Amino acid sequence: MSVSAPAAPLVASAHRRPVPIAIALCVALAGAVVLSLMVGARALSPGKCSASSSCRRREVHDIVLGLRLDRTIIAVVVGAALGGAGALMQALTRNPLADPGLLGVNAGAAAAVVAGIAFFDVTAPEMQIWWAFVGAALASVAVYLLGSGGRAAATPVRLALAGAALTAVLTAFISGVSLSSQASYDAMRFWFVGSVVGRELSVLWLALPFIVVGAVAALLVTPALNAMALGADSGRALGLNIGRLRLVTAVAITLLCGAATAVAGPIAFLGLVLPHVARHLVGPDQRWVVPLSMLMAATLLVLADVAGRIVTDGEVAAGIMCALVGAPVFILLVRRRRLAHL
């Protein structure tokens, strides 16, 4: 079942120094986590956190461990999963504007949750996550079958077209069911916006095994993705099983994006924008692009959650904050020709 291949010439240039960049991103992520624990409606300075009063310690404990730590952990895990899925998606389709939603994963998860709420009264988050994950998996399988129908193989273009068509159909289904069911509409207003607020760690623990398996698979296929970047024929000449590689990569994308979407709802642009930043920093070597995309996406989602706490008197969902940042960058990517090739 191995999809590995001899080392391809698509490697990071020595002068790019990927290891120091990775260390710097780890430090940035640690700083973002600390900031997330300190910033909110009630700011906590290091002095307050170390106060000796037992009452003050109890108050800090309730705020930090009872509220902020859970959402911070969820933001780190979900962000890393979406960043890795985005990098894999762009490498698999060889499309610099590809996003995990291109395979219909987000739409499949949302459609399953809506159906569960409307038709089976599934309201517990611990149950919704299984509906969301199964919906994401079924959508990915449907896209692969549609993209490989007939005598032609499942090429990147066919997969992208199948994903776009399925997403349009599922989005129409979501709108129709949500508008016809008040319970579904009320639940979707909370879930579909994409947020780390109000999510329980128990839900994350259910999804974590899928995310871990998806992340391991993503890292294992990166050398083969380097070889496939030369083209399918060159990849076969290097000993690649192209069909198996595409299948394993699609499964990794489904695990990462499906589980992350099930936990936090659909969060856009993390998987689209940050792989471009990673390639700018370390070159096209997927062995570095994928893990760095994970680190940057985790950091950005934590910072988006922090920003959402302080921009208004209420809270703005992290998914909305990511869209506010990601949409202008997406427009820039579309307009700049030199970013149109992988």
pLDDT the model gives residue 52: 42
Mean predicted lDDT score pLDDT of the chain = 81
Q: What is the DSSP string of 29-80?
A: HHHHHHHHHH-SSS---HHHHT---HHHHHHHHHHIIIIIHHHHHHHHHHHH
What percent of the chain stands above pLDDT 90? 27
Distance CA 331, CA 46 (A): 40
Query: At 30, which amino acid appears?
Result: A
- Flag whether pLDDT at 9 surpasses 80: no
Least confident of 21-30, 164-173, 309-318: 309-318
pLDDT the model gives residue 210: 92
Distance CA 154, CA 266 (A): 26
> Average pLDDT for residues 70-98, to the nearest whole number?
90
> Average pLDDT for residues 291-311, to the nearest whole number?
93
- Residue 221: which pLDDT band, with cuts at 50, 70 and 90? very high
Domains of the chain: 14-100+193-339 (1.10.3470.10)
- Flag whether pLDDT at 158 surpasses 60: yes
Least confident of 63-77, 115-129, 227-241, 328-342: 328-342
pLDDT the model gives residue 86: 93
pLDDT the model gives residue 85: 93
Least confident of 1-5, 109-113, 203-207, 308-312: 1-5
More confident residue, 323 or 45: 323
Distance CA 128, CA 203 (A): 9
- Residue 10: which pLDDT band, with cuts at 50, 70 and 90? very low
Two tokens at 87? 């990098």
More confident residue, 107 or 7: 107
Distances (CA, A) of 120 to 3, 32, 127, 152, 279: 41, 40, 11, 39, 45
Least confident of 48-52, 121-125, 191-195: 48-52
More confident residue, 131 or 56: 131
- Residue 20: which pLDDT band, with cuts at 50, 70 and 90? very high
pLDDT the model gives residue 154: 64
Max CA separation in the chain (angstroms) = 73
> Average pLDDT for residues 111-117, to the nearest whole number?
87
Distance CA 10, CA 24 (A): 23
pLDDT the model gives residue 338: 55
- Flag whether pLDDT at 59 surpasses 60: no
pLDDT the model gives residue 211: 95
- Flag whether pLDDT at 121 surpasses 60: yes
> Average pLDDT for residues 51-62, to the nearest whole number?
51
- For residues 75 and 83, the answer to whether their CB atoms sit within 8 Å is no
Which alpha helices (H) appear in the chain, and where do they start and end?
18-38, 46-49, 54-63, 69-93, 105-120, 125-147, 156-180, 182-191, 201-228, 232-237, 242-264, 270-282, 286-310, 318-335
Distances (CA, A) of 211 to 80, 149, 204, 246, 300: 9, 29, 10, 19, 18
Q: What is the pLDDT of residues 129-156, one digit of tens each?
A: 888 888 988 998 898 788 776 666 666 6
pLDDT the model gives residue 41: 56
Q: What is the pLDDT of residues 193-213, one digit of tens each?
A: 788 887 788 889 999 999 999
pLDDT the model gives residue 241: 84
- For residues 260 and 81, the answer to whether their CB atoms sit within 8 Å is yes
pLDDT the model gives residue 326: 79
Q: Which of 131, 99, 119 is nearest to 268 (CA)?
A: 99
